[in-house]
Amino acid sequence: MRIPFRQLLLSVALVAGAAPASFAISFPSSGPTVPGNTAQLRGALALAPTNAPNSVKRAIWAANELRTKPYRYGGGHRSFNDSAYDCSATISYALAGAGLISVPLCSKEFRAYGSRGPGKWITVYARSGHTFAVIAGLRLDTTSPHNPSRRWAPRWQPTSRTLAGFEARHPVGL
């Protein structure tokens, strides 16, 4: 059976267009660092600790890309490349930048992610309806009582928050 060239080309284009765009995104492989084991904030930018594993540094550098993005419920779930992100998509983006996941996860899925309990470098805190993470000592979250605008957005937060009701999970080995 012979397929006309135009039909073959159209079929390939349709399949390529249907493929998830999350695989086409390029995450940073370098970024700002600070000596030691703990990440630090410089304004809204997180500096990755030099002693951290590369995957942890890459998670931080990826999350830094979201610091100017707005919050949108459901944002960042069809693809890692979006104009706005919700809480679980923010954490998904950081973990994808680290090479730890390949598709965005929702809060419910994060409740079963990786291993139970806090990790050494990355801990994901999830409950029904909200997810945030602590990466090398900094909290990556979309909510903050210290944000003067009171608007939700993917940001590094300088303070901790209550862990009541959240399940702690971590990537295996981290």
Residue 134: beta bridge partners?
Answer: 123, 139
Rounded Cα gap, residues 14 and 164, in angstroms: 46
> What is the reported pTM?
0.84
pLDDT tens column, 33-88: 999 999 999 999 999 999 999 999 999 999 999 999 999 999 999 999 999 999 99
The pLDDT of residue 8: 40
pLDDT tens column, 9-25: 434 433 344 344 444 57
The residue type of 136 is A
Q: Are strands 45-49 and 33-34 parallel, antiparallel or unpaired?
A: parallel
Rounded Cα gap, residues 37 and 51, in angstroms: 5
Q: What is the CATH number of domain 30-170?
A: 3.90.1720.10
The pLDDT of residue 18: 39
Q: Please give the mean pLDDT across all residues of the chain.
A: 87
Cα angle 71-105-50, degrees, rounded to a multiple of 5: 80
Domain borders along the chain are: 30-170
